[in-house]
Amino acid sequence: MNVKSVSGRILCMGAINMDLVMFMDALPAPGQTFVTDNFSTFPGGKGGNQAVTAAVLGGEVSYFGKLARDSFSEQLLAGMSARGVDIRYVLRDAGSTAGIAMIWVDARGQNSIVFNPGANRLLLPEEVSEYAQCFTAGGILLVTGEILPDTIYAAIRQAKKSGMLVIVDPAPVPPLPLPDDIPALVDIVKPNETEAALLTGIPVTDFASAEQAARRLHEMGFGVPIVTLGAQGALALIDGAALRVMPFAVETVDATAAGDVFSGALAAALGNGKSLADALVFASAAAALSTTRPGAQTSIPERAEVEALLVG
């Protein structure tokens, strides 16, 4: 699908979590105990982060997923709604819990995460068909790898059937090999260096290896591969040409949601009519700004901040 033909409507799928975050000087080694008095809770989950980012940065965003009826679920949904995300398609499972992520962040802003998906992984493939009205012609599906693989594949198939642009953030990478039909249904795939290596078997450490992995992803059938490289930037393969997206220089505090902000900002920019090349620069600026403050959804920059960084 041509990115120029998409509308502003974005449907996000993945996980919505409550992040329990501890900040410390260094990440502990196995068997090591650290003491810190720096603990906070933040709304998170890659799907939730991306949805809020896209909404804050100008997208018309709906979320399709499943949560519970516990206090964390209520807080998470209220927070997303307050920031402009349509939550009418978030289903509820009274016998489960919200997703929980326990996150350690060191003095350099690097992190280690353990995730319990809770009700997020109870969304079933048949519910994708039941709520097919979520998938609107000309819109964008932005989906992560946090939910059941069969549900992800059902969503991708339904999105293409409905005439949507499909963006997949394969975090975590679903079990391999992927179903034969799936890569060709994905217009944009956006792995980080670790995920790109898992998908292709090519270790990714720099722009040269990122380009090799991107070309392999394209050979596998994916439309436009975008490999993010953290502080090094990103590389996209567009019409056979490698485009390097250079990072913005900022003082990093916490990189927890930078990849999610990149994905959400990319979808918002495309939905607002930007070219893919311009959308990538916009996404890079948004992701950089998100690393300058702690938390996941709390780190998402406003649109005016991103535009100021782009011109400044």
pLDDT at 1 over 60: no
Decide if pLDDT at 257 tops 90.
Answer: no
Predicted model pTM:
0.91
Q: What are the angstrom distances between the C-alpha of 216 and each of 46, 200, 220?
A: 25, 6, 6
Give the residue, 230 or 91, on which the prediction is more confident.
91
Catalytic residue numbers? Answer: 260
Q: Beta strands 224-228 and 17-23: pairing type? A: unpaired
pLDDT tens digits, one per residue of 128-185 = 999 999 999 999 999 999 999 999 999 999 999 999 999 999 999 999 999 999 999 9
Note the pLDDT of residue 28.
Answer: 87
DSSP calls for 70-90: SHHHHHHHHHHHHTT-EEEEE
**What are the DSSP calls for 185-216, one per residue?**
H-SEE--BHHHHHHHHS----SHHHHHHHHHH
- Domains in the chain (CATH in brackets) are 3-15+45-65+122-311 (3.40.1190.20)
Question: What does DSSP assign to residue 63?
Answer: E
pLDDT of residue 4 exceeding 70: no
Please give the mean pLDDT across all residues of the chain. Answer: 93
Question: Which phi and psi (to 5°) does residue 31 adopt?
Answer: 85, -5
Residue 110 has pLDDT above 90, yes or no: no
Residue 2 above 70 pLDDT?
no
Higher pLDDT, 298 or 148: 148
Q: For the chain, count helices (H), then strands (E).
A: 10, 13
Does residue 103 surpass a pLDDT of 90?
Answer: no
Dist. CA 108–CA 1, nearest whole Å = 40
Q: How far is CA 206 from CA 10, 200, 209, 292, in A?
A: 31, 15, 6, 23
pLDDT at 5: 60
pLDDT for the residue 47: 95
- pLDDT tens for 23-71 read 899 988 889 998 888 898 889 889 999 999 999 999 999 999 999 999 9
Q: Which residues pair with residue 9 across a beta bridge?
A: 60
- Amino acid sitting at position 238: I
- Is a pLDDT exceeding 90 seen at residue 111? no
pLDDT at position 109, please?
76
User: What percent of the chain is modeled with pLDDT above 90?
Assistant: 77
Higher pLDDT, 230 or 133: 133
Compute CA distances 169 → 46, 93, 144, 227, 304, whole Å. Answer: 9, 25, 5, 10, 25
